Structures are given as C-alpha cells and as structure tokens.
Amino acid sequence: MIPGFLLAALLVLAPHAPGAFAADAPHPALAALEAKGGWVALEPSRTFGPDSLYEEIDGEAELFLPYGMNRLTVAIVGRAASPGGEVRLELYRMASPRDAFGIWSQHRFPDQELLALPPGDGVVSDISADFFRGDTFVRIRARPGERSRKDVTDLAAEVAAILPGSGSPPEEAKVLAGLPGTVSGSIIYQKRAMLGYDCLAPGFEARFSLPASSGHYVLLPPIPGGSDARAALLARELPRYLDVSPLLARSGMPFGTLWLSPAGDCVIGVAGKLTRDQAEPLLASLAGRAGGVCGTSR
C-alpha cells in the first residue's frame, strides 16, 4: 500500500489531461458564495459543457454556443438564516467578456427594469435577475413569493461582488448608446445573422427612433481579413449591393435599405426605410463617436 502522503505527492506530479478539471468543476464563484455564509447549496451543483448543454437548456443551447460557452454551473441555493425559499443560480463561463456581454444582450430587451450593479447594470423582475461580470453571464430565478424579489436582488449583488472582471459594456456598445434616438435596451452584440445576414456578423446593432426616421444602427469591428476582405464579402453576400461612392454603399433589404460606410478599421451602417439624405447625417454621427474604437482619430 502506498502511504497517504506519498500518494498525494504522486497525484500532484502525475500528468493530467489539459482542461479536464475545468470542464467538470463548478464555477469557482459558487464556492466563494458559500464561504461567505449567507447562502447555502440546497442540493449538489451540476455542470455542463458545450457538448452537454442541451441536456439542461434544450432549445436554447444554439443561442449560447456561438458565444463560446465553456461551462455552465447550475446551483439551487437558499438563505442560510431563513431556509424555505430556493433560488436557481446559473453561471455561464463564456469565451471572453465580450461574449458574456453578447449573450447578456440577447436576454436584454427595452422597457425592462434595471438593477444597478456598478459599473454595469443587470435587468430584474420580481422573480429574476440577469447580468454579466467579466467572462461570466449570470441568470437567477426564484419561485414567485413574498420574498422572491429580495432573494434575486440580494443574490445578484453578492455574486456580482464575487466575480472578477467588469460589468461595463464593450466600447462599441457605448458608442451606440450615445447616438441620436438609440432605444434603451436594444443594443446587441451579434455573433451570427445580424439583420438576417451572416456576412454582417460579428457586430453590434441597436434600434433607433427619431421623429423623421427609425431603424437600426450597425457597427462592424475589424475582422482578421481586413477591410478589403470585408468589402468583398459584403458585396458578394448582401442583396442588391451597390457602391454609391467611394465612401458609401447601399444594399436593398426586405425591410428597406442598409447604408454602409467605412470608418477607420470598422464598417458603420444604418438600416431602415431611409433615403440617402436621411442616412448620411446618421452615419456622420456614428462615425464621429466611433473614432476612438475604429482608429479614425489615431
């Protein structure tokens, strides 16, 4: 028989499969939450990887996977001091903070109530809270009851304080938030099929509503192939694409017109039932705000 101390040493030195522990272990925030003592696990947590995600959120896995979902931890927790209520805590480790924002943006809609979790916000209802921190997207759900709202808001604040990283949106999202008429809660980071076309993704979009026009703002960050590769892709894939001038192109969409313009290393656009005269001032506003992100002011 191998002595215990020697066995422990051998286990430390033995080679192991890269990522095996990470794929099976719960999210570290769960242990940190329990260590604080305010919340306790009511049943063993469960973990899921990209290949098994459908077992837990069948029908929704296709939304998460393009954003690089590495691991989902599901825990049922309750307050240590007042047992009886239970809250479902879902911790999604995504590929990057941008992807965590992206999947959060897919769950964010206009007119939702905001929950302040500085430096960012979450969204909240009487039985739910959603937010992101660093590379983690968090969903909290409680059964309806007298204390369900307090449970979800208190748990959200504690988890947000534990998780590393920022809850601040990407710079591109901040650009869109400051544009004329942007509809609050409509900013989305799309990993595929933006406005219905894969060639526009990945990118950011937001709805806008102005007295004389409405539609979507579009901000496409740089891609590995560079501006020439993107221009060729858009010209090939977008319907009825036409270069109107060296700095303006248009595409005839089912819902109206998409007007596109280069902005440094990015492409910017506005889409809707818009004439050129309506589109160009909006593009100018977008180009002015996007300078720092797209390199036009360097």
- Whole-number pLDDT of residue 58: 77
Q: CA 65 to CA 191: how far, in whole Å? A: 10
Local structure of residue 170 (DSSP, 8 states): P
Residues 140 and 88: beta-carbon distance below 8 Å: yes
Q: What is the pLDDT at residue 223?
A: 83
Q: Which contacts (CB < 8 Å, 24+ apart) does range 233-240 have?
A: 233/199, 234/199, 234/200, 234/260, 234/267, 236/199, 237/197, 237/198, 237/199, 238/197, 238/199, 238/200
What pLDDT does residue 148 have?
A: 94
One of 3.30.40, 3.10.20, 2.120.10, 3.40.1000 is the CATH number of 18-162, namely 3.40.1000
pLDDT tens-digit readout, 224-276 = 878 888 889 999 999 999 999 999 999 999 999 999 999 999 999 999 999 99
Task: Enter the CATH code of domain 171-294.
Answer: 3.40.1000
Quick one: pLDDT at residue 45? Answer: 95
Q: Could you give the angle at which helices 148-162 and 28-36 cross, rounded to 10 degrees?
A: 110
> Which residue spans of the chain are classified as CATH 3.40.1000?
18-162, 171-294
Instruction: Tally the C-alpha atoms within 13 A of residue 181's C-alpha that lie toward its C-beta.
Output: 16
What's the pLDDT at 23?
53
CA 68 – CA 89 distance, rounded (Å): 20
Q: Which residues of the chain have pLDDT under 50?
A: 1-21, 297-298
Q: How wide is the angle at C-alpha 118 spanned by C-alphas 115 and 120, nearest 5°?
A: 70
The pTM assigned to this predicted structure is: 0.88
What is the per-residue DSSP string for 208-274? EE-SS-EEEEEEE---TTHHHHHHHHHHHHSTT-EEEETTEEEEEETTEEEEEEEETTEEEEEEES-
